[in-house]
Amino acid sequence: MLRDKVILKASTMLKGRLTEVISTSASKFQTPQSDMLLEKRLEFQNELNKKYRKTLKKA
């Protein structure tokens, strides 16, 4: 039970921080690359969500 809560908290914090860092980087550079960064961020977030769901199912 405690382990599940710790995993949930850590993954939520990690997801939030990575999203913040990537979106900050993307907003600094308004170039054609920013679209690519946004796309990469969404792919990465989807990947994290999949891993997170698998972790919850195992727990």
Q: Structural domain boundaries of the chain?
A: 2-58
- What residues have CB less than 8 Å from 31, skipping those under 6 apart? none
- Position 29 scores a pLDDT of 59
Local confidence band at 2 (pLDDT 50, 70, 90 cut-offs): confident
pLDDT tens for residues 8-59?
A: 777 777 676 667 766 666 566 566 666 777 788 888 888 888 888 887 777 6
Inter-CA distances, 26 with 22, 23, 38, 55, 58, Å: 6, 5, 7, 29, 34
Distance CA(59)–CA(45), nearest Å, equals 21
Residue recorded with tokens 């994290």: 48
- Position 50 scores a pLDDT of 86
Distance CA(22)–CA(55), nearest Å, equals 24
Distance CA(52)–CA(12), nearest Å, equals 9
